[in-house]
Structure 1
């Protein structure tokens, strides 16, 4: 990979950054995004670097990074070597500059490297279809409880430092197969500098995790403390982990017929699980809410019912952590299905009860089934004996299995179970650099401390005649041995675009591996050279990127057809062997604009109340390949579309707001929303009739 040199600096508490600093070599990028690019830090496996795009850098961003470095959260969340916790966040460790001179330019920061082969987005675990696909039934409700506990613990540690997450969602919280968690995009958090008392506010949000009081707020212009917003979002996240992925404001019934979105139901407080609204019910396939312990249900009540209008009543993150820890300590295991775990106060397994009452419904934790993805293979390769399996779960989540309540006619709660002390943290510490198998001690093994014993002095041996030197035999070193990944490549590319893939050459033997990579196609070259061949020399590893240039793919009859394919080959020849990488390329379709509706008609709008904003929405879909980009522009000032710019490989929901206060004083309003993209244009007609 290409390399760049930067300089790491430590901020002064009083202001500015120390001059000089450590020289660091970055390689990559290994990932890019809208704000910048992520690089590997050479010779530091557990650290990576974020380098901002030049147009994103300003003095406030630099000062915010300094505040992060000077005010890290506790609990070893930033990855110190002595960390014994099961969570790690991508927090800034040191600032990066382009030189070691006083007038150097700020570039970005270093942070802990999160192993994305081990951590996945949170929805991959709380969504049952994704979870079963990758993990089978082995990521049980016990693991879900533990992941929720770890998330609450991290949020609590961040809040204790005066910071806020702001945009808490399923995409910036990652979970590992051991229930360890990681938070990413920490530089978008709300950060408070303890020394200067300055707060750097977050400018982003995710609609279905926002509390009602912040619906419709423009975070780009308004500086709003997000503490109570975090507490609401944390409640939503925990609810989804414990309730099989269902959102607390997903609902059905006549009472929500006019509220098509989650955001609209949040705004109206339509929490369907307590019978508050007789015409609002939980989703058909939602787990029974009675399976949640009374302690946790009381916290959900404070978050979504009392806290809907009184945000100060929402539970703090530390309260959630304490309640979840208690729930883990008292959990029970089903005697029919090893993957069924449930609350300690229940009389029978709720998962079995749901399966018995609904023949044909998919079990969210199927017995003895492993998923087809990599996570499932890493979690276990064979099912261990029952006792050994139970001990493995106990060790990984750090708590025992519950107290064996008898089964009754229902699975309602009996008297509260007596809490058992938790002797270990609720999740096993997980290294985020490499996934190593964990060691499980026998159930009653006591740790032993082994102290080094001082060496005893040895008596001098009597003098002897020098021994006759014997010839020393040496074995010749093993020769270099070639290993190459990937072994084949299949990609799509736009006719006027390009695509890249990384080739990793490893020496599995000894000595120096020397050789050449050579392409047999003009459209297949090596990045940074424009050449079809490149030499390499490596004691261990050599990496480079191959570039597929779509504009150089052959022309001719059928070459631009949707099913046209092109083949090439990269030959790797070395003193340690020879191999070939077949490359198959298909033409990607151009982006194509599609919308789910051509008009928005709102009838009999009531504008008598103070709330004069009427909301609707439509979906923009990319029906082709690549990235669909463009603008969404209303032709009337009383129509607002959010977002105004779109960029998606899949689909995006556009919220439409009708501000009748700005509209003409008529009973019939008409306007248009024009969509212009690189995949075509579209027009949405907007019509509103006003109640007399």
Structure 2
């Protein structure tokens, strides 16, 4: 469909809209003459003829422009954010936004499994990434966490973070969020809130679900809940964390009043509930313990405790910190390849390939409840609208960006050397105090020379554990000098241990004294009772 529309931007720029790319529930998307990086979204008649609704849209767009949110980071597009407001005869009719091309839906990546060669999503993903492995899923999970963390850091709540609004740029591997005009926005100047009013039951936090309608308001915590579901699907072979096999009977579906499994916290991967894990899905134990813990913090609740545990949910920033090790492009020490299938890549702590265990013939698998296939499955998406241009295929590199995938700046050896030296120094400093402490606590005298050895070993071991915990932060920090101050903490380990040992000895002495007194009293009562009964 060809048309010509002339609109004036709030910036003063005149836009000539040439060709319609697609249409959706709120409006149509058009190309802009002389501009290949942007497109225009024009509202439909239902919005334009409703002055109240139209004015609300205009105020929200102005509030979004005030946030001055960069849509590109390191030159890579991250958000289909409004860039300009369009007017005709003084009336707001739509907005300008970045064009999204060469994209792959997050739902296709989640559903990609080589064993399902007839799966349309598998065919689509392997056409673009023929070497696709689980590590790709990890990197997409990291990039998704990053963009959510980026939006949250600007004080913005996403709201409807469903799989139709999340796409991967096949050229860079970056995750791009679309339909940003539906975000839950608050005007920082006027205080007016423009709530997100839509959501999929299988993606919403429990506090938002009731009677088939949204209740409450979207928050960063509700975003974190939905984010965890997407990450779970990416890492766990598209398994629904709140789906599974009911016993007896078929899988429990989402109901009209909301997703009953989410409301009741029926996640069989983190706690015992009415569901069991389907045969084709892996167990949570295949993931490193740090990732398991984030899922448990987010999904471990029931109908009575869901509200109390909202603040315990893993944040997008935490997911970034825990996923980065597995997502690094040049570091595979944490992952291994299956000897039987080179495309089976999994965390190194597994003694056997978890994917071989899960990989059963399709006809024999027990299938759990899965969400409805999204309507928008084409590769070239413009803010949720399907365009006529198809994505180009071809081999692509492992998805990563210069921003998200870092390169080590230094080796950790110097940090460990400083830590060990500080441990040895602490033995010399506290040798006399150590002898005195041992004498007071245990009643035994230990020569200072021996104390030097014991204290140095304790301080060095504690320091090495401390250095190991902060190793990644040290090797990727701009400057490693501040991290050398960990040596000062190592110097404090011996007195801290001495204080803890003294406190423990005092507590044990107190408990033993109390038990002795209690035994004497009981023994006395028994003797007294015997004497009285004998008389």
What TM-score results when the alignment is normalised by the length of structure 1?
Answer: 0.48
Deviations 1:655-683 (A, max 9, x none): xxxxxxxxxxxxxxxxxxxxxxxxxxxxx
1:293 aligned partner: 288
Of 97, 122, 142, which residue of structure 1 is paired with 2:106? 122
Alpha carbons of 1:347 and 1:421: their partners in 2 closer, same or farther (altered >3 Å)? farther
Deviates more, 1:21-30 or 1:392-401: 392-401
- How far has the Cα of 1:68 moved from its partner? 0.8
SS in 1 for 2:85: strand
Please tell me whether the aligned partners of residues 281 and 358 of structure 2 are also in contact (alpha carbons under 8 angstroms). no
| Aligned residue among 375, 378, 385 for 2:394 | 378
Matched, 1:190 2:188: no
2:210 paired with 1:216: yes
Distance (whole Å) between structure 2 residues aligned to residue 204 and residue 256 of structure 1: 31
Match in the other structure for 2:272? 276
Q: Map 1:429-444 onto structure 2 (within 5 A).
A: none
Matched, 1:201 2:195: yes
**Secondary structure, aligned partner of 1:378:** coil
RMSD: 3.5
Of 327-336 and 84-93, more deviation after overlay is shown by: 327-336
Q: Which structure 2 residue ranges, 5 or more long, are not aligned? A: 49-53, 113-118, 366-378, 380-389, 409-464, 477-535
Q: CA deviation at 1:86?
A: 4.6
2:62 is aligned to 66
User: TM-score if structure 2 supplies the norm length?
Assistant: 0.61
Larger helix fraction of residues: 2
Give unpaired runs (5+ residues) of structure 1.
Answer: 11-20, 364-372, 381-388, 402-414, 425-692
Deviation, structure 1 residue 395: 8.5
- Tell me the distance in 2 between the aligned counterparts of 1:275 and 1:305: 7
Gap change, CA 1:260 and 1:361, over 3 Å in 2 = closer
Instruction: State the distance in 2 between where 1:316 and 1:159 align.
Output: 10
Deviation at 1:419, TM superposition (A): 6.7
Q: 1:28 Cα shift? A: 1.8
* Distance of aligned partners of 1:182 and 1:258 in 2 relative to their CA distance in 1, 3 Å threshold: closer
> 1:340-351 to 2 correspondence within 5 Å?
340-351=344-355
Measure how far apart 1:157 and its partner are: 1.6
**CA separation of 1:167 and 1:255: change in aligned 2, threshold 3 A:** farther
Aligned pair in 2 of structure 1 residues 197, 394: CA closer, same or farther (>3 Å)? closer
CA shift, 1:421, in A, is 7.3
Q: Match for residue 169 of structure 2?
A: 176
- Structure 2 SS opposite 1:166: coil
CA contact (8 A) 1:326 1:419 kept: no
Which residue does the alignment assign to 2:158? 165
How far apart, CA to CA, are the structure 2 residues paired with 1:332 and 1:88?
A: 28
Checking the alignment, whether the CA contact within 8 Å between 1:234 and 1:317 is kept in structure 2 is yes
Q: Deviations over 1:452-492 (max 9, x none)?
A: xxxxxxxxxxxxxxxxxxxxxxxxxxxxxxxxxxxxxxxxx
Inter-partner Cα distance in structure 2 for 1:376 and 1:30: 18
* Residues 28 and 41 in structure 2, CA contact (< 8 A), matched pair in contact too: yes
Equivalent residue number for residue 95 of structure 1: 85
CA distance in structure 2 between the partners assigned to 1:286 and 1:45 by the alignment: 43
- Report the Cα offset of residue 139 of structure 1: 2.4
Equivalent position SS for 1:308: coil
- 2:335 paired with 1:332: yes
CA distance in 2: counterparts of 1:24 and 1:394, whole angstroms: 34
Greater length-normalized contact order (CA 8 Å, ≥ 6 residues apart):
2
CA displacement, residues 120-161 of structure 1 (integer Å, 9 cap, x when unaligned): 221111103344212336222111111111111111122222
